[in-house]
Amino acid sequence: MLRSAEVGDTYQLFNPQAYLQNNYMPPRANFENEDCVVPWKLRCFASSFSTGEIHGHTLLDIGSGPTLYQVISACNFFNRIVMSDYLEVNREELRKWLRRDPGAFDWSPYIKYVCGLDGKRDHWEDTERRLRETIQEVCHCDIMQANPLHPKVLNPVDAISTTFCLESVCPDKKSLEEALANISSLLKPGGFLLMIGALNESYYLAGEVKLSVIPLDEDYVKETVSRSGYRICTFKTYNMPPDLNIGVDDVCAVFYLQAQKI
């Protein structure tokens, strides 16, 4: 069994470009097909925000990696978004997009899709601008620490999003539960947790490196989140169709969860 320090060492080989290619380009990011996994993920976030219930000053995204699709819907409901990741290469990938570096990943198809859900596709550039203004920080985080943002101290935030982080970073279920408690300490009571994760996955590839994942099932996720002091509002699952099993992981399904801290 791996210890968290060993997981951290393995992550040093994480290649953001390979990870983006595997998960955020076609065939997994096919906006012509509503049944494809990426549009499904974007619709989950959009649907949570469409109720108007989730809003506030700050949203914190934990384990952002090189991606920002997970905060596109949020940018119209928060004054400030803080992105965070363990690896400098991933934080730098996000900063490249923020400063319009020509080598940055192109998130415009994602932004167009999200705007299109509200019939505002023609105004996608307003949302892109808003997203760049709202993402005000990209900081280091380590979910294994009691304060994952150490040495930074943040006032408790109004919402936390985290996607494919807990199960792919923690060496075992005990440390996953501790990491969830660490993350939850950053959230206000009444605040919302928005989480996407993999079900029954044991590994994924990010370039040369093969990262271990804790295979989770739906009941475990619901019980663990509830036991950590949340009321689950929404739980959705997506079964990965065979044509999206492209040899970059062994994920069986993806879950989306919205929960409110009690």
* Helical H segments across the chain, by residue range: 4-11, 16-24, 37-50, 88-98, 108-117, 124-134, 166-169, 173-184, 218-227
Residue 19 has what DSSP assignment?
Answer: H
Q: Using CA atoms, how far apart are residues 7 and 210, in angstroms rounded to an integer?
A: 11
Query: 143 with 62: CB under 8 angstroms?
Result: yes
Nearer of residues 2 and 117 to ligand SAM, judged by Cβ: 2
Q: Which residue is nearest to ligand SAM (CB)?
A: 65
Q: Using CA atoms, how far apart are residues 190 and 32, in angstroms rounded to an integer?
A: 37
Burial class (CB in 10 A: 0-12, 13-18, 19+), 54: buried
Q: Does 39 bind ligand SAM (CB under 6 A)?
A: no
Mask for 132-151, x = binds ligand SAM (CB under 6 A): ---------xxxx-------
CB 51 to ligand SAM: min, Å: 23
Q: Does 165 bind ligand SAM (CB under 6 A)?
A: yes
Q: Which of 65, 124, 191, 230 binds ligand SAM (CB under 6 A)?
A: 65
Q: Does 73 bind ligand SAM (CB under 6 A)?
A: no
Q: Does 67 bind ligand SAM (CB under 6 A)?
A: yes
SS3 56: strand
- Helix then strand count (H, E) for the chain reads 9, 9
Binding residue count for ligand SAM, defined by CB under 6 A: 21
CB 23 to ligand SAM: min, Å: 6
Pairing of strands 209-212, 203-206: antiparallel
Q: Does 64 bind ligand SAM (CB under 6 A)?
A: yes
Nearer of residues 52 and 153 to ligand SAM, judged by Cβ: 153
Q: Does 201 bind ligand SAM (CB under 6 A)?
A: no
Pick the closest to residue 8 from 175, 177, 134, 136 (CA basis): 175
Q: Which residues bind ligand SAM (CB under 6 A)?
A: 11, 14, 23, 63-65, 67, 70, 85-87, 90, 141-144, 163-165, 168-169
- Would you list which residues are annotated within the binding site for S-adenosyl-L-methionine? 19, 24, 63-64, 69, 85, 90
